């Protein structure tokens, strides 16, 4: 699997919020190993305009934000800030180790009138059987909207 978008979450956020976050400040050592530090999570959330980089939903508090590896670690993705994105619980768990193209379909389905009624695998089966579902297949990610609008995202 590979990244299938010309833009990445880092292109659609206010990276000035992250300039002083050196690699040693991204992680915090705990008894169970390393975790993303709260200062990093807070700054990434602020840099992402307190929204999920993918679906654009508002995330109420940095404590509720998730840090997603854009290119999954299982695919060789790094821990560099450019490979990390602020995500909501839905998008982070939906993406898992999948690609952005797979996530785009899942978010588009979730945001469609049949979201929450038809699962992604059911939707794919229905589509393959010729059913036309009311899904916006080219629905842009939030970070793509921000990047296209020069950082000044307007709803
Ligand atoms: Zn999301």
Per-residue pLDDT band at 154 (split at 50, 70, 90): very low
Per-residue pLDDT band at 5 (split at 50, 70, 90): low
> How close is the Cα of 91 to the center of ligand 1, in Å?
4
Model pLDDT for residues 98-150, shown as the tens digit of each residue: 889 999 999 999 999 999 999 999 999 999 999 999 999 889 999 999 988 76
> How close is the Cα of 10 to the center of ligand 1, in Å?
15
* Cβ-contact 4, 99 below 8 angstroms: yes
**Average pLDDT score over residue span 59-88:** 93
Model pLDDT for residues 71-84, shown as the tens digit of each residue: 998 989 998 999 99
> How close is the Cα of 93 to the center of ligand 1, in Å?
9
> How close is the Cα of 88 to the center of ligand 1, in Å?
4
Domain ranges of the chain: 9-148
> How close is the Cα of 67 to the center of ligand 1, in Å?
11
The whole model's pTM is what? 0.88
**Average pLDDT score over residue span 84-91:** 96
Query: Of 60, 63, 68, nearest to 10 (Cα)?
Result: 68
Q: Which two tokens stand for residue 66?
A: 């998730």
Q: Which two tokens stand for residue 37?
A: 């530090």
Model pLDDT for residues 16-43, shown as the tens digit of each residue: 999 999 888 888 888 888 889 999 999 9
Is residue 152 scored above 70 in pLDDT? no
Q: Which residues surround ligand 1, an ion (CB under 5 A)?
A: 52, 54-55, 88, 91
Helices (H), the chain: 23-26, 38-47, 89-95, 100-110, 120-128, 142-148
């Amino acid at each position: 699997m590979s990244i299938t978008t010309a833009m990445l979450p880092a292109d659609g956020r206010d990276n000035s919020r992250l300039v002083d976050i050196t690699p040693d400040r991204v992680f915090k050592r705990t008894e169970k190993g390393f975790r993303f530090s709260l200062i990093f999570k807070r700054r990434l959330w602020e840099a992402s305009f307190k929204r999920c980089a993918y679906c654009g939903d508002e995330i109420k508090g940095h404590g509720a934000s998730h840090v997603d590896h854009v290119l999954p670690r299982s695919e060789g993705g790094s821990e560099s800030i450019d490979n990390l994105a602020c995500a909501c619980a839905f998008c982070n768990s939906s993406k898992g180790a999948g690609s952005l193209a797979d996530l785009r379909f899942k978010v588009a389905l979730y945001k469609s009138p049949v979201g929450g009624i038809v699962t992604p695998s059911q939707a794919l089966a229905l589509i393959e059987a010729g059913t036309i579902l009311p899904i916006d297949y080219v629905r842009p990610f939030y970070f793509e909207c921000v990047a296209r609008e020069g950082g000044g995202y307007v709803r």
